[in-house]
A and B are shown apart, each in its own frame.
Chain A
Amino acid sequence: MSSTEQPVTPTNDSPDFKAVPDFEVAPGMQRHLADARVNVELDTGDMIINLGPQHPATHGTLRLVVRLDGERVIAADPVIGYMHRGYEKLTEFRTYPQVTTLINRIDWLSSFANEVPFVHAAEQLMEIEAPPRAQYIRTALTELSRIATFLLFLGEMGLQVGALTPAFYGFRDREHVLNLIESATGGRFHPNFNRIGGLKDDLPWGWIAETRNVMKIVLDACDVFEDLVLGNEIFQARTRSVGIIPGELGASYGVSGSNLRASGVDWDLRRDGAPYLAYPELDFEVFTHPDGDSFARYWVRLQETRESARMVLQLLDKMPSGPIMAKVARIIKVPAGESWVETENPLGQMGYYVVSKGGTGPFRVKIRSASFSNVSILPWMLRGVYVPDVVTILASLYFILGDIDR
């Protein structure tokens, strides 16, 4: 090598680059890359592991880059966006009735609850209101989708901490609720049932009696989960004081819904927000838990499932008669203006900021989805926990990837 030649910094591609420092190998022995890599990682003390985007604990395509010291997490970095579908932009090219099809797919477990705030925002701009019967049916279906979402959580959480059986119970009992939603709306997962000014159809014959039966099943299922999962000593050992969110910190991160109520913050938009649907006329309790750990989140969701079932029964008792659609023009044009509607969705606070310039479609829609803010606290929560606790925390925060990435 001539002296004028500059030394080249080895890059990954150059043959000089050695990812692994050399160590002495006895002649005749082949050195295996596996040994060498593991050696290096043990030497440096920590190892970086990718949980996801395809991993059983991440419910889809959340990716966590976790830096580990043995089993202990030093730092965790959630990487989102693998499911980004650009819904906020897509709404700008749709008419108002078409938008509900899109927003069904944000939080796909409780699609009906997603539609409600958007439809409300549009109705506010048009200064119309859905008739009382439509409001009651909307409330009932919103609560049913909350029950469906939480039943899945109650089972899934068991699966994530290692118990196989509760997951199947969760799916089994949720199916009854989904059947109800399907028989009323025609869609099991994506009802697309709300119209601006009311609903597409009235309830089918016999639906109310069937719903009463299913609510009994739901209440029984809650008892089963209380015995099988919540009361289990191993479950308690795995969840108590794991993943504590202090109330104030959670609120400052934008955590909302059951996650925040489990941290002792008594805040529920159904009661405390601007009145919407039939909630002001209902008698219901808001549950909080002082601990803020994974166990508290499970406990709060279990109580809320029960309370939702009771609310549905109340709604059925009070269900008014009358039309289900307000008088709305065939082609919907929303007057210029801006409106913000936020509701208490199963996963937390869901809001739509709709800007209209007077056309058939929105000019701009900002979607505030609960899971996006809920997972923002993950780097803070995951510091210093063990690998199994990462899974517990992810499961107990209960996010839906569609709700994070939109």
Chain B
Amino acid sequence: MSVLALEIGWGWMLAFKALVILLIVPLGALVLGYTFLLKMMSHMQSRLGPMDPGGFHGWFQLVGDGLKFLQKEDIIPEDADRRVFAFAPVIVVISTFLMFVVIPIGPVAVVANLDVGVFYALAVSSLSVIGVLMAGWSSANKFALMGALRAAGQLIAYELPLLLAVVGVVMQAGTMSLQGIVSAQQNGSIFGWSGIGNPFIFTQIIGFLLFMIAAQAELSQTPFDMPVAESELVAGYMVEYSGFRFLFFFIGEFGTATAFAALAATLFLGGWSLPGVHGLSAELLGPLVLFVKLMGVAFLMFWVRFTYPRLREDQLQAIAWKFLIPIALANIIVTAIIKVAF
């Protein structure tokens, strides 16, 4: 096997992959949290955000926050179901880790190139809601319970449009493997012109928009942040969590945002591929290219998050069932017709 065109043994390879997966989630959470939550939101709101920690524009702030959380007392409410309460944040973070397994960052640099990559990524992303339900239920807190049940209702409503939005891409690429989808975009052509390949955002723009809306709901970000709605439920299912367990939720939240942004970049923007870059340079540049695309997608997500008000739970269900799912189905039909016709 090779990574970055170096021949190494499978044992080293395994260790390397494990290290990448273990690092990428906290790192992604840090980068997105710092760039968007701390700096972009601050500048949108005519503030500077943290400026001192670390010397340059407060880049160390989140690391410091993380270290602070680790020092905090581990508080478990008296009436809580202790084992479930303690285990819930772990499940949320695990689902984030699992998502990164199939996301390719280069021609060969992928932990596991599964044949059902997309299907797997979306399936494991839904695992986190089990953690959320466990957290809300075991906290013995009414606010937490309501938040958890809202999260569950949201998942049922939004898993369907999320999957249906991706079906168009899968049909066009002819494969569910993420590497296959990337190479289909890299080697494709737009009306015979193959200068930039064929990023599916052009043909699947409806699918892209649906995917982004549904991902926003999946991540419980505004306008779909009812599970944590801070003006109603204080912090929803997280209300009883503090210290490093809260840190787990935080990493889970932003790590999953990273994963979804990477997934959207892979499905619709060509992933790690850059027009005209092949071979070794593609392997070296791949992670960087994916990172830039991912940040672009994440910018859209967080722009919406910091601008829009929050919908009500019943309005969210209405949008999902009456609006998104019919459009997604129509999109699939149109894609199928075009695929067969041309």
> Which A residues contact B (CB, under 8 angstroms)?
32-35, 37-38, 41, 47, 49, 55-57, 71, 158-165, 168-169, 172, 228-229, 232, 234-235, 237-238, 386-391
Question: Is there contact, CB below 8 Å, between A165 and B45?
Answer: yes
Chain A residues with CB below 8 A from B146, complex form? 71, 387
Question: Is there contact, CB below 8 Å, between A232 and B309?
Answer: yes
Interface centre among A33, A34, A47, A228 (most CB of B within 10 A): A34
Question: Is there contact, CB below 8 Å, between A34 and B139?
Answer: yes
Q: Which of B179-226 contact A (CB under 8 A)?
A: 222-223, 225-226
Chain A residues with CB below 8 A from B232, complex form? 57, 387-388, 390-391
25 contacts between A and B (CB under 8 A): A34-B79, A34-B80, A34-B137, A34-B140, A35-B81, A37-B79, A38-B137, A57-B232, A159-B231, A162-B222, A163-B309, A164-B306, A165-B306, A168-B46, A168-B47, A228-B307, A234-B223, A234-B311, A235-B309, A238-B309, A387-B233, A388-B232, A389-B312, A390-B232, A391-B232
Majority DSSP secondary structure for residues of B touching A: loop
Binary contact readout B19-47 vs A (1 if CB under 8 angstroms, 0 otherwise): 00000000000000000000001001111
What's the nearest-Cβ distance from chain A to residue B149, in Å?
9
Question: Is there contact, CB below 8 Å, between A386 and B309?
Answer: no
> Which B residues contact A (CB, under 8 angstroms)?
41, 44-47, 79-81, 137-140, 142-143, 145-146, 222-223, 225-226, 229-234, 306-315
What's the nearest-Cβ distance from chain A to residue B187, in Å?
40
Question: Is there contact, CB below 8 Å, between B307 and A165?
Answer: yes
The CA of A168 and the CA of B48, in the complex, are separated in Å by 12
Chain B residues with CB below 8 A from A164, complex form? 41, 45, 222, 306
The CA of A2 and the CA of B80, in the complex, are separated in Å by 40
- 7 nearest A-B residue pairs (beta carbon): A162-B310, A34-B140, A168-B45, A163-B309, A161-B309, A162-B309, A32-B81
Give the residue name and chain of the B residue nearest to A389 (CB): B312
Chain A residues with CB below 8 A from B44, complex form? 165
Chain B residues with CB below 8 A from A32, complex form? 79-81
What's the nearest-Cβ distance from chain B to residue A160, in Å?
5
The CA of A56 and the CA of B142, in the complex, are separated in Å by 16
B140, B307, B313: the one within 8 Å of A163 (CB): B307
Interface centre among B45, B46, B226, B232 (most CB of A within 10 A): B232
State whether A38 and B145 are in contact (beta carbons under 8 Å apart), knowing that A57-B231, A237-B315 are contacts in the complex. Answer: yes
What's the nearest-Cβ distance from chain B to residue A393, in Å?
12
The CA of A304 and the CA of B307, in the complex, are separated in Å by 25
Chain B residues with CB below 8 A from A37, complex form? 79, 140
Chain A residues with CB below 8 A from B80, complex form? 32, 34
